[in-house]
Amino acid sequence: MKLNTKQSIIFLTGFMGSGKSTVGPILANTIGFRFIDLDSLIEQNQGMRINDIFAQHGESKFRELERATLRDVLQQHSTIISLGGGTVTNEETLGLVKQHGVLVYLKSDVEHIFQRLRTKSDRPMLRDANGNLLDGEGLRAKIETLLTARERFYLQADIIITTDDKKIGYTIDELAKKLSHVID
């Protein structure tokens, strides 16, 4: 990893279910940073759940809100920002993120993601065209297709860490160690 400057926003990216929202607050506590969850901030600002934003206004409106909310937090310092799984899957947004901080990719494979998401109903991207929750092979296939399309963006992160079978404490330790080289 080669970062020239010390930077003080750490962005967490990765597929839905990769652990961003779990790792984020613990890591923030560990290294003395603040924590912001981008999806929670969008929900607070809109007074609506992400599911309802998608259902009532569609994905493109959500992406607009996501970009605008992200722009509002780019001047933060000593902050960990957990992004949504789709936030950086656009060159412009990815560029913006990389310009303002260190990007960490929490990498999980299809099977682990499938196991973590199979009981969840709060991911609008994992519904079919009629808005019904996907399950079984349909869910697995959707995760695989989306992950394949998105991974080229995720892989441009400054730090990549696999979370599959790792206990959260080890993930935090490993990340804190790697980050100590790039933050003040």
Q: How many CB atoms lie within 10 A of CB 156?
A: 17
**Measured in Å, how far apart are the chain's first and last C-alpha atoms?**
16
If one asks whether residue 19 binds ligand S3P (CB under 6 A), the answer comes out as no
Query: Are 175 and 159 in contact, with CB atoms under 8 Å apart?
Result: yes
| Residue among 59 and 111 whose Cβ is closer to ligand S3P | 59
User: Which stretch, 14-22, 68-76, 100-108, 157-165, contacts ligand S3P (CB under 6 A)?
Assistant: 14-22
**One of 39, 103, 105, 112 touching ligand S3P (CB under 6 A):** 39
The residue whose Cβ lies closest to ligand S3P is 84
Residues linked to residue 103 through DSSP beta bridges, in sequence order: 11
Query: Are 87 and 69 in contact, with CB atoms under 8 Å apart?
Result: no
* Residue 84 beta carbon to ligand S3P: minimum distance, rounded to whole angstroms: 2
- Residue-by-residue DSSP string for 14-50: -STTSSHHHHHHHHHHHHT-EEEEHHHHHHHHHTS-H
**One of 9, 43, 81, 84 touching ligand S3P (CB under 6 A):** 84
Considering CB under 6 A, how many residues would be counted as binding ligand S3P? Answer: 11
Which residues of the chain form contacts with ligand S3P (CB under 6 A)?
A: 16, 20-21, 39, 50, 84-86, 123-125
